[in-house]
Amino acid sequence: MKLSARNVLKGKVKGIVTGAVNSEVTLVLPGGTELVSIITNVSAKTLNLKKGKKVYAVVKASNIILGVD
């Protein structure tokens, strides 16, 4: 797999919460950091996502917005 995105993070699926339309997928990266992605249920099914499956998180963003109180 070759991608133009430079931020590719290898991890494992920790858990999946399936909603009416989307699934919230929690990944665990090496070192224990967790990352959450919201994807469609169709995508989760197509990728055959299950707890413990090895996956790649691909981050492609031109902006990251931060806020504080």
Is 64's pLDDT higher than 80?
A: no
Is the separation of the CB atoms in 8 and 55 below 8 Å? no
SS (H, E, C) 9-60: EEEEEEEEEECCCEEEEEEECCCCCEEEEEEEHHHHHHCCCCCCCEEEEEEC
Residue 7, helix vs strand vs coil: strand
Write out the CATH class of domain 7-59.
Answer: mainly beta
pLDDT digits (tens, 9 = 90+) for 13-56: 999 999 999 999 999 999 999 999 999 999 999 999 999 999 99
- 6 band by pLDDT with thresholds 50, 70 and 90: confident
- What's the predicted TM-score (pTM) here? 0.85
Instruction: Kindly list the domain boundaries of the chain, sorted by start residue.
Output: 7-59
Angle at CA of residue 21, ends 17 and 50, nearest 5°: 35
